[in-house]
Structure 1
Amino acid sequence: MLQDIIFHPADTRDFKDFGFMQAHLSFKPHLPEGRKRFGPLITIDDGTQAPGSQGFGLHPHRDVEVITFLVSGEVKHIDPNVPAHSGTAAAKGVQVITAGRGIVHNEVNNSPTAPMRALKIWLAPRATGLAPHYSKMALDAADYTNRLRPILSPQGDEGTLVAQQDVRLCYGQFNRNDTLAYPATGPVRGLYLFMVEGTGTAAGHALAKGDGLGLTNAGELAIHTEPDAEFLIFDLPETSIH
């Protein structure tokens, strides 16, 4: 099967200054071909919110899976309609919202003194009109240090959170030179690697903070890590680049 590889250097992302937050956007519908989406992966917004910032205010979402990965700092999630879905998450924490038939929410920096860096990730769901749902977890450093820790899957395997899409998401943080192989979960899958911090190499590309690398018909991806490499790998259903 023909394999396509696309490399997204960090400095080619779209930059937005919202005042309270500075963000680099890897995918958006208004961006050029190759940056609109990668299969069901439709957004990776890498944003840093100022201390005490109050976010966008209450705003709606519908028919999207909203994943927040806390790189540093602490987020406060506010859902005025379902108070049980409100709460805080700290680095390295993950929260998943199935917006389904509609939610209203806001995410604010819970610290008055420290900035908060978070990756806001959107996935297209498996179906429209699903029941809204919220879940979160804190990651144990022992589970992601010098190894890949699954954090998201469609069935909640291996202690992961559940996404309403056929996607597996793994996270790792490395403090040494290492080489590992990530095997895609099926014969016709897409992989997308996003460098959160540090440096490494994959598919012949040197990778640094904010870089992204996507492969269709991926098979197995060999990754060389340098000390302080930190990255996410999305394992996606049959994927085309838009």
Structure 2
Amino acid sequence: MIQFRDRGARGRHQGGQIDAHHSFSFADYNDPRHMGFRALRVLNEDRVVPGAGLPEHGHQDMEIVTIVLKGAVEHRDNLGNNATIRAGEVQRMSAGTGIRHSERNPSADEPTHLLQIWIIPAEAGGAPSYEQRSFADDGARNRWVTIASGDARRESLTLRQDAVIAIARLDDGQLIERQIDPKRGYWVQIISGIIGLNGTKMREGDGAAIARLLRMTGLRQSRTMKGAISL
């Protein structure tokens, strides 16, 4: 079974500094029909104007993954981390018992485009931690690339949950498949371009919850990153 989530049906917060789309209920957007998908609690697509961002604030008991698609994010936290995450890089922050951080677009003229994913950890508590790694396009096309997982497989970032986040970059006409484990759930999020998912055309911002064989085909103008989350 596939349940599609149209990009135009997402919640939206459009302010002077951040234009955000919410696949699930978040902040002032509250939709009881869309409160998350299994352990996937938040999936936001944000565009941040130059110099803007979020001042210091706190989280706890959440796995927060940020995928920078364009531009950069400057990160600071109370663990002493001071880092810049650039396009093609991924940040993982385990809030654990509590972490305080700030995020901003450090550029004076280039906007930032990112995806932020929140995953509920398998267990509450634990020491907060931080990690980041580059997954820039290095020729790994037309296949799944694991960027985060519960067991740190293939040198991916580590999640405190039995979950996998993978991305795929498809060329026109290329097909990739993934056999579905009936005991698990799968969420696909289109980052850019156009794909065919089991025969249904999907575009940037569209999502889908899946529980059977997954076939993704790159269509015209789709030579960019696609994203899938397996939970």
Q: Same fold (TM over 0.5)?
A: yes
RMSD of aligned residue pairs (Cα, Å): 1.5
Picking from 186, 189, 193, the partner of 1:194 is 189
Name the stretch that deviates more: 114-123 or 201-210.
Answer: 201-210
Go from structure 1 to structure 2 and tell me whether the alpha carbon gap of 1:224 and 1:175 turns closer, same or farther (over 3 Å shift).
closer
Matched, 1:74 2:67: no
Displacement after TM superposition at 1:153 (Å): 0.7
- 1:203-223 Cα distance to aligned partner (Å, 9 max, x none): 3421000000111xx243111
Displacement after TM superposition at 1:229 (Å): 4.4
Aligned to 1:138: 134
Contact 1:72 1:91 in 2 (8 A): yes
Q: What is the alpha-carbon distance in structure 2 between the residues aligned to residue 232 and residue 174 of structure 1? A: 11
Displacement after TM superposition at 1:145 (Å): 2.6
Displacement after TM superposition at 1:143 (Å): 5.1
Picking from 197, 200, 218, the partner of 1:205 is 200
Displacement after TM superposition at 1:235 (Å): 0.9
The total of aligned residue pairs comes to 227
Matched, 1:5 2:19: no
User: Per the alignment, in what secondary structure is the counterpart of residue 11 of structure 1?
Assistant: helix
Displacement after TM superposition at 1:159 (Å): 1.1
Displacement after TM superposition at 1:5 (Å): 2.3
Displacement after TM superposition at 1:21 (Å): 0.6
Contact 1:181 1:220 in 2 (8 A): yes
Contact 1:171 1:230 in 2 (8 A): yes
Aligned to 2:30: 31
- 1:64-92 Cα distance to aligned partner (Å, 9 max, x none): 1111000110111111x221x22011111
Contact 1:146 1:176 in 2 (8 A): no
Q: What is the alpha-carbon distance in structure 2 between the residues aligned to residue 64 and residue 144 of structure 1? A: 30
Matched, 1:147 2:143: yes
Contact 2:150 2:160 in 1 (8 A): yes
Structure 2 spans left out of the alignment, 5+ residues? none
Aligned partner letter, 1:27: F
TM-score, normalization by structure 2? 0.93
Displacement after TM superposition at 1:112 (Å): 1.0
Matched, 1:162 2:158: yes
Matched, 1:224 2:222: no
- 1:168-222 Cα distance to aligned partner (Å, 9 max, x none): 11112223221110123x441111000000001113421000000111xx24311
Contact 1:189 1:219 in 2 (8 A): no
Displacement after TM superposition at 1:131 (Å): 1.1
Aligned to 2:61: 63
Go from structure 1 to structure 2 and tell me whether the alpha carbon gap of 1:59 and 1:161 turns closer, same or farther (over 3 Å shift).
same
Displacement after TM superposition at 1:19 (Å): 2.1
Structure 1 spans left out of the alignment, 5+ residues? 237-242
Displacement after TM superposition at 1:33 (Å): 4.3
Contact 1:143 1:149 in 2 (8 A): no
Contact 1:170 1:234 in 2 (8 A): yes
User: Per the alignment, in what secondary structure is the counterpart of residue 158 of structure 1?
Assistant: helix
Contact 2:142 2:176 in 1 (8 A): no
Q: What is the alpha-carbon distance in structure 1 between the residues aligned to residue 50 and residue 20 of structure 2? A: 15
Matched, 1:18 2:11: no
Q: What is the alpha-carbon distance in structure 2 between the residues aligned to residue 143 and residue 149 of structure 1? A: 11
Identity %, equivalent residues:
27
Please show how residues 92-107 of structure 1 align to structure 2 within 5 Å: 92-107=88-103
User: Per the alignment, in what secondary structure is the counterpart of residue 190 of structure 2?
Assistant: strand
TM-score, normalization by structure 1? 0.89
Q: What is the alpha-carbon distance in structure 1 between the residues aligned to residue 194 and residue 33 of structure 2? A: 23
